[in-house]
Amino acid sequence: MTKTKKIIIGLLIAVVSVLAVFKVLSVLELFSLFVEQKPPQITEGEFPFVVEYEIAGERYIIEDTVVCSFDGYDHSAWFAKPRTWNEHLKSGDEDKRIILHEENNYSVLTPGRLNEQSRVVLNYGSGAYYMGDKTNSRSMIYAKPFFYYSERYKTDEKTTYNTGEKLSEKELEKHFGIRIIRFDFSKPIKNKFK
> For residues 106 and 115, is the Cβ–Cβ distance under 8 A?
yes
Across the range 5-28, mean pLDDT stands at 67
Co-location of 69 and 151 in the same domain: yes
Co-location of 59 and 28 in the same domain: no
The answer to the question of residue 86 being in a domain is yes
Share above pLDDT 90 across residues of the chain, in percent, rounded to a whole number: 41
The answer to the question of residue 48 being in a domain is yes
Dist. CA 132–CA 124, nearest whole Å:
15
Co-location of 111 and 89 in the same domain: yes
Query: Which stretch of DSSP H or E encloses residue 22?
Result: helix 3-32
Q: How confident is the model at residue 136 (pLDDT cuts 50, 70, 90)?
A: low
Co-location of 26 and 62 in the same domain: no
Co-location of 7 and 82 in the same domain: no
pLDDT at 145 over 80: yes
Across the range 66-94, mean pLDDT stands at 85
In the chain, the number of structural domains is 2
Co-location of 102 and 138 in the same domain: yes
The mean pLDDT of the chain is 82
Co-location of 28 and 60 in the same domain: no
The answer to the question of residue 191 being in a domain is no
Which domain range does residue 17 map to?
A: 1-35
Co-location of 175 and 88 in the same domain: yes
Q: How confident is the model at residue 43 (pLDDT cuts 50, 70, 90)?
A: very high
Co-location of 25 and 85 in the same domain: no
Other beta carbons within 10 angstroms of residue 100's beta carbon come to 17
Co-location of 18 and 103 in the same domain: no
The pTM score is 0.73
Query: Which stretch of DSSP H or E encloses residue 60?
Result: strand 58-73
Q: How confident is the model at residue 38 (pLDDT cuts 50, 70, 90)?
A: confident
The answer to the question of residue 85 being in a domain is yes
DSSP, residue by residue, 123-191: E---HHHHTT--S-HHHHHHHS-EEEEEEEEEETTEEEEEEEEEE-HHHHHHHH-EEEEEEEEPPPP--
Across the range 168-178, mean pLDDT stands at 92
Q: How confident is the model at residue 66 (pLDDT cuts 50, 70, 90)?
A: very high
Query: Which stretch of DSSP H or E encloses residue 67?
Result: strand 58-73
> For residues 117 and 151, is the Cβ–Cβ distance under 8 A?
yes
Condensed to tens digits (0 to 9), the pLDDT of residues 99-134 reads: 999 898 888 877 888 888 889 999 999 999 999 887
Co-location of 12 and 63 in the same domain: no
Co-location of 104 and 125 in the same domain: yes
Across the range 172-188, mean pLDDT stands at 94
